[in-house]
Chain A
Amino acid sequence: MRTIFYVIQKEFIQVKRNKVMLRMIVKYCIMQMLVLVFAATYDLKNVNIFLVDKDMSSTSRELASKLEASPFFTINNASFNPEDGENELLRNADDMVLVIPPGFERDLIRDDKASLQLLVNAIDGSAAQLGYSYAASVIRDFNKNIIAEWKGLPEFKAPYQINTVSRFWYNSELDYKWYMAPGVLSLLVTLIGLFLSGMSLVKEKEQGTIEQLNVTPIRKIHFLVGKLIPFVVIALFDLAFGLLIARLVFHLPIVGSLWLVFGFGVLYLLGILGLGLFVSTLANTQQQVMFVTFFFMMVFILMSGIFTPVESMPKWAQLIDQANPIYHFMRIMRMVILKGSGFSDLIHEFVALCILGFTFLSLAVWRYRKTA
């Protein structure tokens, strides 16, 4: 037991003496929280419209001013030639071109219907769709208004109406930052834990100090546990620090229990650190470790549902995700922090994390050889 304590002490001293590393961990934490959470947003703030108004009637002008009045749209430029608009799209200067054909107002009155053309730069498919749906809803409202005006009705009423009322629970303002913050926090803990543990063993290998450790009278399980504990402490400290930033900067509501967050944090970290150690038993140089972890991290992170919902992935990917610790932990963090889910809601995730953690740790113990 005392040997474990000495290994822990050694690790802590090593971490403490590596000032650059420590500073970087803190900086990294702050930067990731601020940059990632602010940058990762699907909120549409501003769509630039290029207007081609060939009708020049009061109706078309009114439509343009309706669009301009909406907070999402800015009409940057106008011309009478649709080709100018397409050129703007090619130059990335505008996002949409609205073409109002000649005779728009006349057709609308005489034939009871008229057409508009909307050209959307759709390279970013989801932004294009969102922008289009906003534009369509402005046009729909405009349509309703002119019917009401022209027909002299206070509001045109279809004989049957089903109103849909949407309520957004847990995040009524649809603030995307609240969704990202717990996700980024789980990412942060994962990366710190994985890189620290992955690098530490291989560094001893590279510098040859592993030989000394191999000949010391210490059992390999003790050695590994001693290596793990300091990293758990650092990563948990990071988690607390990140939560504090989220609370202060984004006013993230923490609905659930903090004990649950940290409890799951420890469980998760044991698995992740086990994985890091396992990778470092396989590798010989820090470059290899770095590259291997980076590779798997990218895959795990992208599949974890941090940016896009897991539900929209194909079935095989969802199945693979069952073996993805980040997926489970991210789910836990989001559910506990945002919705206040309790332990009984998270039994599935708990079991999954236990199995994964046990597997990774046993792999690490099994692969670590004291003989060179």
Chain B
Amino acid sequence: MKQFIGFLRKEFLHIFRDPRTMVIIFLLPIVQLLLFGKVINNDLQDSKIGILDQSHDNTTREITSKLLSSGYFLLGEELQAGDDVEDVFRKGKVKMIVTFGPEFEKSLERDGKADVQLLADASDPNTARILTNYASGIINDYVKKEKLQNIQLPNQINTEVRMLYNEGLKSVYMFVPGIMAMILMLISAMMTSISISREKELGTMEVLLASPLKPIQIILGKVTPYLLLSFINTLTIILLGVFVFGVPIKGSFIFLMAESFLFILMALSLGILISTVAPNQMVAMFISVLALMLPTILLSGFIFPIKNMPWPLQILSNVMPPRWFIVIIRNIMLKGTGILFVWKETLILMFMTFVFIALSIKNFKIRLE
């Protein structure tokens, strides 16, 4: 036991004596949360648009001012008839061009209808779709309010919508669980795997193996500091999420911590597994980035919903541990459900932890080649 404590001390010293890494470990969750809370979102505001108005009458001017005062659009460029539209798009200054044909108001009065053309730069398809939706919504609204004031339309169906669990449609609600998964993966799995394979690469593993420490003690000693760091980070993320961004914890806090603990264990055993496979740090790092970070970010439903992906990726996403963890965390924090709704996900995580540990034991070599 005394030997083990000595070894544990060595490991802690390793980490504490590397202030750069320490700073980043503690800064990482904060910066990530700020980024996702404030910067990364799809709420378009102040998109620059161009206006090509060939009639310059009251109606077109009113529509233009409605569009520009909506908060979604800013006037980027006023075009003249005959301007090269493509050239404007190629410069990348405006995202959409609203075009009114000649004699807009006249044809509206005379024929009862007129056309507005929305030309969108669909090299960014999502933005293009959202902008055209906004614009046609604003124009429809204008027609209803200004032109059809006194006319009662028959048989109107009114749809009341309730956005559950996230009424303000805040994207930070969706990101907090994902950031937790990502940072826990990073610290637990990546750091552990690199730190073990480093001992291999530098040859100090030989010293450890020849020491009276048992292999299991070596592994435990390597893992414990990162377990502690991960736990501190979990708390940081939750606290920041709750107090700075107002993400609720509707379910039980203890249950939340227990599930996080399970996930950390899983990540640590994955880290050990990687280090038993990788011969040196470079490979360990590459596997971590390839096998951990990318899937954590992409195939877990963190940013992009899984069910929109092609089916091979959907199947692949099943073996990604963060996928299940994110579901659990969202359920506990945002929906306030208990174990009854997430027992399946919890079992899957337990099973994965078990498999990783079993494989690591099988791969761990106490002899040198």
Give chain A residues whose Cβ lies under 8 Å from the Cβ of B120.
Answer: 166-169
Q: Which of A222-230, A231-239, A297-305 contacts B (4 or more CB under 8 A)?
A: A297-305
Chain A hits for B3, CB < 8 A: none
Instruction: Compute how far the CA of A72 lies from the CA of B111 in the bound complex, rounded to whole angstroms.
Output: 35
The answer to whether A128 and B308 touch across the interface, beta carbons within 8 angstroms, is no
Q: Is A36 among interface residues, defined by CB-CB distance under 8 A? A: yes
Across chains A and B, the number of contacting residue pairs, with CB separation under 8 Å, is: 341
Interface size class of B (residues with CB under 8 A): 35 or more
The CA-CA distance from A158 to B194 in the complex, in Å, is 68
Least CB distance from B321 to A in Å reads: 16
Q: Does B363 contact A (CB under 8 A)?
A: no
Chain A nearest CB: distance from B194 CB in Å?
5
Task: Pick the interface stretch among B157-165, B219-227, B238-246.
Answer: B157-165
**Which residues of A lie under 8 Å from residue B159 when comparing CB positions?**
115-118, 135-136, 139
The answer, yes or no, to whether A213 is at the interface (CB within 8 Å) is: no
Is chain A's interface secondary structure helix, strand, loop, or mixed overall? helix
Contact A143 B156 (CB under 8 A): yes
Q: Are B21 and A160 in contact (CB under 8 A)?
A: no
Report the nearest A residue to B154, measured CB to CB: A112
On whether A120 and B163 interact (CB within 8 A), knowing A160-B112, A165-B115, A291-B24, the answer reads: yes
- The answer to whether B39 and A302 have CB atoms under 8 Å apart is yes
How far does the alpha carbon of A164 sit from the alpha carbon of B138 in the complex, in Å? 11
Residues of A within 8 A of B154 (CB): 112, 147, 150-151, 156
Interface: B133 (CB within 8 A): yes
Q: Is the CB of A91 within 8 A of B341?
A: yes
Q: Which of A31, A114, A132, A290 contacts B157, CB < 8 Å?
A: A114
Q: Quick one: given A162-B143, A288-B18, are A176 and B285 in contact (CB under 8 Å)?
A: no
Cβ–Cβ contact B153 & A290, under 8 A: no
Is A123 in contact with B90, judged by CB distance below 8 angstroms?
no
| In the complex with contacts A162-B143, A165-B117, A126-B42 CB distance below 8 A | yes
* A163 engages B164 (CB within 8 Å): no
Query: Once the chains bind, are A139 and B122 in contact (CB under 8 Å)?
Result: no
Which residues of the other chain, A, contact B173 by a CB distance below 8 angstroms? Answer: 123, 125
Known A-B contacts A160-B143, A163-B116; A171 and B122 likewise in contact (beta carbons under 8 Å):
yes
**In the bound complex, CA of A176 to CA of B305 (Å):** 14
Q: Which of B125, B151, B308 is the one whose CB lies under 8 Å from A171?
A: B125
Q: Does B198 touch A at the CB level, under 8 Å? A: yes
Q: List 7 A-B contacts (CB under 8 A).
A: A38-B313, A90-B331, A117-B159, A118-B160, A118-B162, A199-B285, A295-B27
Closest 3 CB pairs of A and B: A125-B169, A168-B122, A122-B163
List 18 extra interface pairs beyond A118-B159, A195-B289, A334-B124, CB under 8 A.
A32-B294, A36-B298, A109-B155, A119-B161, A119-B164, A122-B163, A124-B174, A159-B147, A160-B113, A161-B114, A162-B116, A286-B198, A290-B281, A294-B293, A311-B44, A312-B43, A313-B39, A339-B121
